[in-house]
Copies of this chain bind each other. A is one copy, B any other.
Amino acid sequence: MEEKHYSIGELAKLTNISVQTLRYYDQIGLFKPSYVDPKTNYRYYKDAQLYYLDIIKSLKYIGVSLEEIKAAQKFTPAELLSFLQKQESVIENQINRMYEIRQSLYKTKRQMEEQLAIDVMDTVYIKNEEALRILSIHTNELTPYHIPNTYYSSLIKTLEIENSLLSNRYGCIYPFRQYDSLDELHYSHIFTPLLTDRYITHLTSDMEVKTIRAGRYACIAFIFEQDTYLTHYQKLYHYIEEKQLNVGPVVYEIFMPLNYSPNEEDQFIVELKIKLL
């Protein structure tokens, strides 16, 4: 039986693997030609080798890295089986990660739907809210005059360590009381909603995971401007005073972007809300 040999181009065509990839496999010692012409340096592959390319392909398909495939080539069938068992849990983890992405995406969509449902601007309205899990950080120096984005960076970094989705919503918390000037208003916490139900580790000492309770809230929403902030706050405050509503001790302020381009002027909707008891 005479053995057939293929040039690298023939092999590429036969196996749907590019010449570049075959050269690379040779370089890293994953799949070497059976013969290299010493004069021309042309690579030749024998028919019996094709089989091993299929093994490489199928391990790649199940997410095994080229380095791991190289190690797997030395396995006995029993070792390969135990390797496949480990690979199963790798795939299981990836599926779980996709589930989390799906869940986060769903929650993001819900947030967008809620934002689009805010059509009553500049007047007080009552709204039912689901519970909202947040990551918050204690502060005492921030006011509506100045909330540097950098302040949120520590929250964002914590979420990134957790490999969790960012919500693109930012919030602040401050005491509910009469304010005659914005200078009096100091945030006690800033926060970002969590899009995951996972337990968050890696918290710094000033951070906390809390839940803003479900229930009825008195709210007001407006396009953020420093000049009109206090007027809107006072509208909400007087509404509650007038109706003698029993409310929680703090105001939640949530920022929602109206555009997503770094090249445009940034515009945010702010929603202030306070829990009805």
Contacts and interface: CB of A to CB of B under 8 A. Distances in A.
A146 interface: yes
Interface of A: 1, 4, 14-16, 31-32, 47-52, 54-55, 57-58, 61-63, 72-78, 80-81, 84-85, 87-88, 91-92, 94-95, 98-99, 101-102, 104-106, 108-109, 112-113, 115-116, 145-146, 148-150, 152-153, 156-157, 160, 165-168, 170, 256-263, 266
A102 B116 contact: no
Number of copies: 2
A152 B266 CA distance: 59
Contacts of A72: 260
B153 A113 contact: no
Contacts of A52: 260-262
A84 B58 contact: no
Given A146-B1, A149-B48, A101 B61 contact: yes
Contact of A50 (B15, B50, B149, B259): B149
Contact of A58 (B109, B113, B165): B165
Question: A-side binding surface: helix, strand, loop or mixed?
Answer: helix
Contacts of A1: 145-146
A57 to B, nearest CB: 6
A263 to B, nearest CB: 7
A84 B61 contact: no
Contacts of A115: 77
Contacts of A47: 148-150
